[in-house]
Structure 1
Amino acid sequence: MGYKEIYARYRQQIMAGALKPGDKVPAIRVLAEELKVARKTVEAAYAVLIGEGYLVSQGAKGTRVNPDLVISRREPAEEPAPLADSSLNQLTGLRDNPGEMRLGIPSLDEFPLKKWLLISGKVARSLRPEEMTNQPVTGYAPLREAIAGYLNISRGLDCQPEQVFITSGYRANLRLILQVLAQPSDKVIFEDPGYFFGQKLLKRIAPNLHYAPVDRQGINVDYLLRYHADARFLITTPTHHSPLAVTLSLPRKHQLLGWAQENQSWIIEDDYDGEFHYTKKVIPALKSLDHDDRVIYIGTFSKTVMPALRIGYIVMPKETVSRFKELGEITETGLSLLPQKILAQFLSEGHFYKHIKKMRTLYQQRRRLMLDALNRLFPETFSYELSDGGMHIVAFLRRGTQDVALAELWQAQQLQVFSLSAWYTQTQKRYGLIIGYTNIRSEQQAMTLLQRVQQPTLALLQQAN
């Protein structure tokens, strides 16, 4: 990414009103780390923006959008008229119970809790009487602005705050999208393997549910076009696939976008783990390549802030905004105001950027601790296909198919791993364990945890073979 692209992104956001006069922009060092570019690249972009009067540098106070900037905007286009009015129990318990190596739990020891509590107290004390009435069902406006700004700069999107719908998380995202846009007969495609709880939810709310296999280049688009070209919806995790952590190749991305446009189908992009990349290669969101507005981008703050926050979001295609609002007024109650205000301030003050930057470095270190311990204690048991980011390891069994029994053995020792084969629905499966590492703090901790299951694991696999 060059300075011209950074300049263009910021200029577009300022001209569109997503960044307003007086808004603070990330420090050069922070943004350079976020976008994985040289500091001089960001410096050059900021220098042009300052020279043209879009930004002003205020020394120790940072860089802001010029408070004196006056932008004349065109009237927004009229919105389209709204439309008329056994295993699950086991894994739910696994998710809710305490234990080590839990999947999708961010580092609890390194979260800036003091800063979060400070903001929380400030927000609670600043509550105004006029905020005690019902808030917009689409979410607290400053939070929508902060999310749009973050996505546009860091993930390459081009969305307005009006396109952001705040929800209670991943499952609320899927339910709302299908309620607004789907008919019961519409064919819905999910990845195989795919996120376990997403799969179980879709079986209950999407009567015409089908699957497309995932290989080392992501979802197999040729398979999709051959067998399910008539699908109305595709739900995919293109940046870091859940659970295999592979990235959808660029040719397949363009194939998917072409298919969606030609068939007027919708791609629901779950940007799973998109923030956690460990190299200088930043993988852009599929939505950033979407020139026809056929991608519905969804995300949550469960893995970047905390699962207990229960805040997610949908980036609605422009033509669908009125339909989402209409159904939202009927079916959604909206989220509590205080958590939204706290998160909005956490984002707008730059703490989220800093936290994500720190977690990238930390998670890379902790993944190495876990891999080293696995290789020392199970040298011939597992193989690995590592990606350049993420929050978990897939340890593929070199021999055998006993991953369900193996996962149960580890779970009995409070190691909350998942069996890979349980995430498949079709007959062609791979076998292994899905292992979280984000809360592994030392080599000794990793070794101690894995030693609990070393001998039983080797005995089980030897007996099976």
Structure 2
Amino acid sequence: MRLDRGDAMPIYRQIEARIRAAILDDRLAPGTRLPSSRSLASQLAVARATVELAYNVLAGDGLIEGHAAAGTIVAPRLQADHLRAARRREAAQRPVIQPSLIWSATTRPLQMGVPAFDAFPRKLWTRLAARTARGLSTAQMTYQDTSGYEPLRRELVRYLAIARGVVCSIDQVFITAGFQGALGLIARILLKPDDEVWVEDPGYFFGRDALALAGGRPVPVPVDGDGLDIAAGMARAPEARFVVVTPTNQFPLGASLTTARRADLLAWAGANGTWIIEDDYDSEFRYRGPKMPALKSIDAPGRVLYVGTFSKVLFPALRLGYLVVPEPLIERFATSAALLQPQPSLADQITATAFMAEGHFARHVARMRGLYAERREALLQALAALPKPHWAVEAAAGGMHVIVRLPAGADDAAAVMRAHAVGLSPEPLSRFAMEAETGPGLLLSFTNLPAETAARTMRKLHRALQA
């Protein structure tokens, strides 16, 4: 067993991960005796308590057992189906780079997470950016408030109160490098090794993988038509330290967390001391029914950390987001932000402030909502016109994509590869699941698909899937 002391992963986690992998790969068969904690600690030149901690984690997962006479052994009752389920969980929890959702040199039709670049007010943004550069003062060239540009935080306080019902002070708002920046700050301050974290299943794997990499233990909680199943979460991990949830528009299925479940989640979190990370990633875009308020807007227990981003409304390369924390956490977050959290570009923050303060942001959101409604309808009509035996289309009340359900037994990952070969970039629904049986499906973004090209693009996709 080789350990990397330069790795960010704690040593006990490295030991646990290597033994776990050996068991799941059948290199350690059921009944195999493991070295004693004292012996293994001596071999690895680590403290005995470090090995014992790794063994305790494995024992808690039912992979090893302690026997007085035989010592510590791989659980002899491990069955094939148990091992297969454990392998699926391990594969789902392992941080995996997903290139199509991280970066590509070109934007392709149907690509997830990409707003309508063709409709972005580039000239206006460029003019504001140039004005920012020309007006940069000497005071702005030195070290800045590590919580973020104060005028931008003030604009966000106003925007959140009006648009999301979130009433907060400027001190509660922290500017971050997008959603990942906010999640990293939360993990540094509040997450402890092996903390259980409820994650939606299926759900956003970047958040899940990031928290796993930071030492948390994701617990998949099923999602249904009412959003996150709170009762199932309490049954699976009643003492969970965190919940990561997309209550306004669940990703990827599109359900909104019902009022009853919101109340249950907040009551349980308040009683349990659990932190709720609300990812409000695209709440601006709703096409039918009333707009859902943010979970943070009814957070009487003070357990919600609200995360927002400009990536979906403006453009992802801006890497600009924001985090609203409960008042008791302000000092801890301010200290950590000052020591560990680099701020996004001040020039970008100033430009974004002007974009909001001068009314451009509100007009842009309204325009995009109307444009996306048109593109969504064009995509749905194009799908309806296809010869599609056994296809089903699901379009949520909000969001930036629709789901095409493929026939049972289809391989959605293989279907995506065929689509990529012809220049299209849907995503497989199965990629977002840990344990959930989602069935095969494709996620099709409509935001970067002009209405006049929808029919032609869908015919191209259909031909690729028939190949």
- TM over 0.5, shorter chain: yes
Q: Which amino acid aligns with 2:304?
A: V
Structure 1 position 458 matched with structure 2 position 466 = yes
Contact 2:422 2:464 in 1 (8 A): no
Question: Does the Cα contact within 8 Å between 2:404 and 2:441 map onto a contact in 1?
Answer: yes
Alignment of 1:282-361 (within 5 A): 282-361=291-370
Partner of 1:236: 245
Could you tell me whether the CA contact under 8 Å between 2:396 and 2:402 is conserved in 1? Answer: no
CA distance in 1, matches of 2:462, 2:288: 32
Pairing partner for 1:126 from 122, 125, 135: 135
Task: Report the counterpart of residue 219 of structure 2 in structure 1.
Answer: 210
Say which SS state the counterpart of residue 377 (structure 1) adopts. coil
Query: Is the Cα contact below 8 Å between 1:241 and 1:272 reproduced in 2?
Result: no
Query: Helix, strand or coil: the match of 1:384?
Result: strand
Residue deviations 1:120-154, cap 9 Å, x none?
A: 12221111111110111110000001111100111
Q: How does 1:3-14 map to 2 (within 5 A)?
A: none
In the other structure, the counterpart of 1:91 is 100
Q: CA deviation at 1:280?
A: 5.4
Letter of the 1:182 counterpart: L
CA distance in structure 2 between the aligned counterparts of 1:371 and 1:95, rounded to whole angstroms: 26
Query: Quick check: 1:364–1:389 contact (8 Å CA) kept in 2?
Result: no
* TM-score under structure 1 length normalisation: 0.77
8 Å Cα contact 2:115-2:314 kept in structure 1 = yes
Q: CA deviation at 1:398?
A: 3.9
CA distance in 2 between partners of 1:96 and 1:180 (Å): 35
- Mean CA deviation greater in 250-259 or 195-204: 195-204
1:100 to 105, 109, 121: 109
Partner of 2:281: 272
Whether the 8 Å contact between 1:170 and 1:300 is mirrored in structure 2 is yes
Partner of 1:7: none
Question: What is the aligned partner in structure 2 of residue 41 from structure 1?
Answer: none
The TM-score, its normalising length taken from structure 2, stands at: 0.77
Aligned pairs for 1:367-446 (under 5 A) are 367-443=376-452, 445-446=453-454
User: Residue 88 of structure 1: SS of its match in structure 2?
Assistant: coil
Question: Displaced runs of 4+ in structure 1, greater than 6 A?
Answer: none
SS at match of 2:118: coil
One-letter amino acid of the counterpart of residue 395, structure 1: V
Task: Report the counterpart of residue 58 of structure 1 in structure 2.
Answer: none
Q: Give the equivalent residue in structure 1 for 2:455.
A: 447
Cross-structure match for 2:234: 225
Relative contact order higher in (CA < 8 Å, ≥ 6 apart): 1
Instruction: State the match for 1:57 in structure 2.
Output: none
Q: Rg bigger for which structure? A: 2
Change (3 A) 1:350 1:280: farther
- Shift, 1:387, TM fit: 1.9
Aligned to 2:417, the other structure's residue is in SS state: helix
- Identify unmatched segments of 5+ residues in structure 1: 1-85, 460-465
Cα distance between partner residues in 2 of 1:220 and 1:428: 15
Query: Which residue of 271, 281, 293 maps to 1:262?
Result: 271
After superposition, residues 118-197 of structure 1 pair within 5 angstroms as 118-197=127-206
